[in-house]
Amino acid sequence: MAALLEVADVTVRFGGLTAVDAVSLQVGAGEVCALIGPNGAGKTTLFNAVSGNVAVTDGRVTFRGEAIHRLTPHEIAAKGVRRTFQNGGLFGQLTALENVLVGLHTRVDSRLLGLLAGRKAARQAEQAATRQARELLDIFEIGHVADTPAADLSGGQQRMVEIVRALATEPPLLLLDEPAVGLAPHMRAQLGAVIRRLAAERGIGILLIEHAIELVMSVSDRVVVLNYGKKVADAPPDVVRADRNVLEAYLGHA
Amino acid sequence: MPRLRVTRRLFWLVPLALLPLPLYLDQYRQYVVNLMLMYVPVGIGFNVVVGNLGLLAFSNVAFFGIGAYTSGVLALKLGVPWWLTILPAGLMGALAGCAAGIPALRGVRLFYLAIMTLAFGELLRWVYIRWVPVTGGSFGMSVPPPSVFGWTLETEGHKFYVFLVLVVLMVVLTDRVLRSRFGRAFMAIKDNELAAAAMGIPTDRYILLAFAWGGFVVGIGGSMYAALVGHVTPIAFDLTELILEFAVIMVGGLGSLLGSVIGAAVITAAPEFFREWLGFQELLFGLLIIAVILFLPRGLASLLARLHPVFVDRYYRD
Amino acid sequence: MLAVFLQLVVSGVATGMLYALVALSMTVGYRATTVVNFGHGDMVMAGAYAVFVFVGSGLPFAPALLLGLVVLFLFGLGTQRVLMRPIIAGPHLSLAMMALAIGYAVRGGARLEWGSEVTTLQRPYAQDAWMVGPVVFTTDDLVIATFVILLLLVLFLVFNVTPVGRLIRAVFQSQRGAALVGIDVHAFHGVMWGAGAALGAAGGVLLALIVPLSPDMGVWTLLRGFAAMTLGGFGSLHGAVIGGLILGVMEKLLGFYLSTVFIDITAYLITILVLLIRPSGLFGRQAAVRV
């Protein structure tokens, strides 16, 4: 069976700079694949290439066997690839609940004319989405902040809301860009448990960028290491931990 | 004793309470009240683009003017009764909104789009002045007295009731748009367009939609202008008018439907009182907006929101 | 025929110089602060009126001009410091709205004072005209061209040769980077906002040589400045200048060969068409975003 996500020889160039250099990787359903490497290694660029936010110069990205690297970000998202953002991509003026509702956007079956005419079906679709969003927040134990504007939430709560929002449509593939940044240690552990559960119980494929190495080692099935835009390792965590190339990438070319 | 449950349904009391108003007001005061009513849709449509979508748009007076001219031309040149010109005025406004928003489809964003709306608005105003056979040029045109179902609206009181119906309709419809995935998409685009696209929202189409809806509602305001003032001239839709409309949404509350209504009520009567002093309107509203940005950035609506949660703008349905 | 064409180009270049100056002054403020000053046109207008007032109070033209520019510099600096800085971390919309509101207040003030009378700025020189071959040059053309070219030369030198210029370019490149190496970015914003206002004011004075003063002259100029910036590529300094020149010439050519209406609407059409067809203009970096 083909992998859920297949990145094949993807290269991204900005002018003369090659940010991602012929990288290939695969993420299967229910698999957690971590993407690590020093700053500037091209991790986020690769993410953006998958989610359609930067143009792929060369190579292919396929999702469920379908090429997606020429699609726009919203088309890719609608196909079931959802992501979070490194610097927090929440809608600050919207509440936690409304944020999750935006995450559900493609699933809310309400038409403009139906809404304007006050049709029952449209109203009920909106109400059902609201109920679903509340339930999701409850499941992830942040239901008590549902009506708080996202900008007023704590860092940990914001991370959780962003993950819930990305998850709301139960996408087959989730891209998490440094979800643990700014989280206290116990929150990190909790986040790790959430990630494992999503993969194991719901069969979601997860591509994870993370600097918190202990989190990476504890949750991932496979670790891909990037350095200067090139893939230098792709193996289970314990193998990668012992890999000389990886050590060099991190310890600075000594 | 059971506590009275405060819900949004209680807002219906406001138009009901206004019903007896014409009994107490003379023609001039009633005219001023009608003016306030007219600025409700003008403010609402503007606020959708500026407050909800978050785009500094200068084309609002253009949509307003298009609505007024559509009503005026249909009534004067083709003899269409006024009430039948309301919908066309809204549709022309929506069309103009689409035209102003089209560059969004080409990836044009932020102030590029703002500049585009500025050029678009000025171009339209130039059309009003130059297309003399249709618009009457600089002197404008006189619109026949408005009529509804064959009844002529002779007094300001008559117009008041028709306006009230229109205003309530526009408030309700816009509320339905905003408190749905469409309204949430506008807000999402304003806060973080990248993240909005990552939620599967085709942001360019939604920008166009916000413009079209804004243009529609403002265009209806324009047809009310034609009925209320009875005379449509280019000078009514210049940049001095625009500052008044900015003041309506800034003072009322950016991105708040309730704010648009409050803003229309408190701001629009003012010019009636200092019409004689050229420039006073721009000076006063300029300073007022500066003060609001510094000291009350979410406008008067945010004061109400502090009083009771029912006044908080919500973008979902329970 | 050729004579007519040349004549149109010459007078187009003269007006284009004005647009170029205004567009350049807007670009300076924009590049320094990343805020588009939608009230900039009113600084242009205020500059013209300031010089008008100083000349009216008996000052000779040159000191009046200098004083006018200083006043506008201080006004730009002051409004940036007092009104923009408190909200600098806020949403971009508030900043743009603030600039717009300041412009409106200034315009309203001018209209309150001078709105009902026609005022003109007396030329400090005698208007004359010469034939060079078949083409007529007026003193106005020459004064505007000389002044703008000198100003551009000075700016070019300041930007590219002096240490101040290096600093300015550093901030233009990266606000955060500049802050990291110890540049006081806040103070810089104020100074550049003021410099933009003063440059715009110079444009206003030149404009006042050829048209009567009016509170609305600023908006008229703003729209042409935007057209020049858009055409040249938003944020590009040399693009603003070249865009201004092209706009000036095109207004005249289209106005003569197609229809006089183009004198009024060329700027609007250019803005709209460029944004539709090639949003980055002639020399701009990418204006469109991929979302």
Summarised one tens digit per residue, pLDDT across range B63-95 is 999 999 999 999 998 999 999 999 999 999 999
Confirm if A35 and A215 have CB atoms less than 8 A apart: no
From the list B173, B194, B317, which residue is nearest A89 (CB)? B194
Q: Are B249 and B263 in contact (CB under 8 A)?
A: yes
Name the pLDDT band for C126 (thresholds 50, 70, 90): confident
Distant-in-sequence, close-in-space partners of C273: CB < 8 Å, separation ≥ 6:
none
Contact C275 B123 (CB under 8 A): no
Please indicate whether, in this complex, the C-beta atoms of B119 and C100 are within 8 angstroms of each other. Answer: no
Q: SS3 of B7, please?
A: coil
Chain position carrying tokens 């007024």: B68
d(CA B101, CA C252): 30
Residue B3: predicted pLDDT:
59
Contacts of C143 (CB under 8 A, 6+ apart): C125, C206, C209
Structure token digits, residue C102: 């300041």
pLDDT (mean) for C231-239: 88
User: What's the CA gap between B232 and B129, in Å, rounded?
Assistant: 11
Instruction: Please tell me whether residue A174 adopts helix, strand or coil conformation.
Output: strand
Q: Which of residues 41-80 of C touch B (CB under 8 A)?
A: none
Taking the C-alpha atoms of residue A19 and residue A227, their distance in angstroms, rounded to an integer, is 10
Per-domain boundaries in chain A: 1-80+171-254, 93-168
Residue type, B101: G
Residue contact A126–B181, C-beta within 8 A: yes
**Paired strand residues for A226:** A231
**Contact A181/B at CB under 8 A:** no
The pLDDT profile of chain A, 254 residues, written as one tens digit per residue, is 468 999 999 999 988 888 999 999 999 999 999 999 888 888 999 999 999 999 999 999 999 999 999 999 999 999 999 999 988 789 999 999 999 999 999 988 888 999 998 899 999 999 999 999 999 999 888 899 999 999 999 888 898 899 999 989 989 999 999 988 878 888 888 889 989 998 999 899 999 998 888 888 899 999 999 988 899 889 898 888 887 777 777 655 43
| Interaxial angle between packed helices B203-229 and B60-78, expressed in degrees from 0 to 180 and rounded to the nearest 10 | 50
B202 touches chain C (CB under 8 A): no
CA torsion angle C282 C286 C290 C291 (round to 10):
-110
Q: Interface pTM (ipTM) of the complex?
A: 0.90
State the total domains in chain C.
Answer: 1
Residues in chain B predicted with pLDDT less than 50, given as ranges, are 1
Distance of CA A46 to the CA centre of its chain: 12
How many Å is the Cα radius of gyration of chain A? 19
Chain A closest CA to C38's CA: distance in Å? 25
Q: Dump the DSSP string for B73-128.
A: HHHHHH---GGGGHHHHHHHHHHHHHHHHGGGGGT--HHHHHHHHHHHHHHHHHHH
Name beta bridge partners: A10: A23
C89 CB within 8 Å of a chain B CB: no
Nearest chain C Cα distance for residue A73, angstroms: 6
Q: Which of A11, A29, A122 is nearest to A69 (CA)?
A: A11
Question: B290, B295, B298: which to substitute to probe chain C, counting the most C Cβ within 10 Å?
Answer: B290
Q: Does B198 touch chain C (CB under 8 A)?
A: no
The pTM is what? 0.91
Give the HSE-up count for residue A9: Cα atoms under 13 Å, Cβ half-sphere. 2
Does C290 reach chain A within 8 Å, measured CB to CB? yes
Chains touching chain A through at least 3 C-beta pairs below 8 angstroms are: B, C
Taking the C-alpha atoms of B120, B125, B127 and B132 in order, what is their torsion angle to the nearest 10 degrees?
170
**Shortest Cα–Cα distance, A81 to chain B (Å):** 8
Contact yes or no for A102 and B190 at CB 8 A = no
Domain with residue C55: its CATH number is: 1.10.3470
- Length of chain A as a residue count: 254
Q: Is the pLDDT of residue C287 over 60?
A: no
* Chains contacting C (3 or more CB pairs within 8 Å): A, B
Q: Do B107 and C290 touch (CB under 8 A)?
A: yes
**Which residues does chain C have within 8 Å of residue B293's beta carbon, measured at their own beta carbons?**
87, 94, 97-98, 101
Instruction: Calculate how close chain B gets to A105, using CA atoms only, in Å.
Output: 6
Residue B269 at interface with chain C, using a CB cutoff of 8 Å: no
Mutation test of the interface with chain B: which of A97, A115, A147, A165, choosing the one with the most B Cβ atoms within 10 A?
A115
Residue ranges of the domains in chain B? 24-238
Phi, then psi, of B153 in degrees rounded to 5? -85, 100
Contact list, C90 vs chain B (CB under 8 Å): 297
Pick from C119, C123, C126, C140: nearest CA to C18 = C140
Q: What are C268's two structure tokens? A: 């609007």
The answer, for B50 touching chain C at a CB cutoff of 8 Å, is: yes
Q: In chain B, which residues have their Cβ closer than 8 Å to the Cβ of A91?
A: 187-188, 191-192, 195-196
Nearest to B213 by CA among B253, B188, B176: B176
The confidence band for C25, taking pLDDT boundaries of 50, 70 and 90, is very high
Q: Which residue has the tokens 């949003």?
A: C279
Q: A108-116, long-range: CB within 8 Å, 24+ apart, which pairs?
A: A108/B180, A108/B181, A110/B180, A110/B181, A112/B177, A112/B182, A112/B209, A115/B176, A115/B177, A115/B180, A115/B182, A116/B173, A116/B176, A116/B177
Q: How far apart are CA C136 and CA C139, in angstroms?
A: 10
C288 — contact with chain A (CB < 8 Å)? no
Q: B: neighbours with 3+ CB pairs under 8 Å?
A: A, C
Is the minimum CB–CB distance between A92 and chain B shorter than 8 Å?
A: yes
CATH of A1-80+171-254, one of 3.40.50.2000, 3.30.1960.10, 2.40.50.100, 3.40.50.300: 3.40.50.300
Q: DSSP letters of chain C?
A: -HHHHHHHHHHHHHHHHHHHHHHHHHHHHHHHHS---TTHHHHHHHHHHHHHHHHHTT--HHHHHHHHHHHHHHHHHHHIIIIIGGGTTS-HHHHHHHHHHHHHHHHHHHHHHHTTS-B-PPPSS---EEEETTEEEEHHHHHHHHHHHHHHHHHHHHHHTSHHHHHHHHHHH-HHHHHHTT--HHHHHHHHHHHHHHHHHHHHHHHHHHS-B-TTHHHHHHHHHHHHHHHH-TT-HHHHHHHHHHHHHHHHHHHHHT-THHHHHHHHHHHHHHHHH-TTTTT----S---
d(CA B113, CA B106): 11
pLDDT at C289: 43
d(CA C65, CA C69): 6
Domain with C257 in it: 2-115+129-277
- Taking an 8 Å cut-off on Cβ atoms, the answer to whether C291 and A55 are in contact is no
**What distance in Å separates the CA atoms of residue B157 and residue B29, rounded to the nearest whole number?**
10
Q: What is the rounded distance in angstroms from the CA atom of residue C32 to the CA atom of residue C168?
A: 8
- SS3 assignment, position B272: helix
Burial class (CB in 10 A: 0-12, 13-18, 19+), C136: middle
Nearest by Cα to B207 from B290, B106, B115: B106
What pLDDT digit, counting tens, does each position of A77-106 carry?
Answer: 999 999 999 887 899 999 999 999 999 999
Count, residues in chain C: 291
Asked if B317 and A127 come within 8 Å (Cβ–Cβ), the reply is yes
Give me C267's structure tokens.
């700027």
What end-to-end distance do the CA atoms of chain A give, in Å? 41
What is the three-class DSSP state of A24?
strand
Distance from CA of C178 to the nearest CA of A (A): 21
Q: Which of A212, A205, A145, A193 is nearest to A2 (CA)?
A: A205
Annotate C49-101 with DSSP letters as a single string.
HHHHHHHHTT--HHHHHHHHHHHHHHHHHHHIIIIIGGGTTS-HHHHHHHHHH
In a domain, C124, yes or no: no
Task: With CB atoms and an 8 Å threshold, state whether B115 touches C226.
Answer: yes
Contact A105 B173 (CB under 8 A): no
Strands B151-152, B147-148: pairing kind: antiparallel
pLDDT digits (tens, 9 = 90+) for C159-203: 888 888 888 887 777 777 777 777 788 888 899 999 999 999 999
CB contact under 8 A, C289 and B193: yes
Domain membership of residue C210 (yes or no) is: yes
* Chain B interface includes A154 (CB < 8 A): no
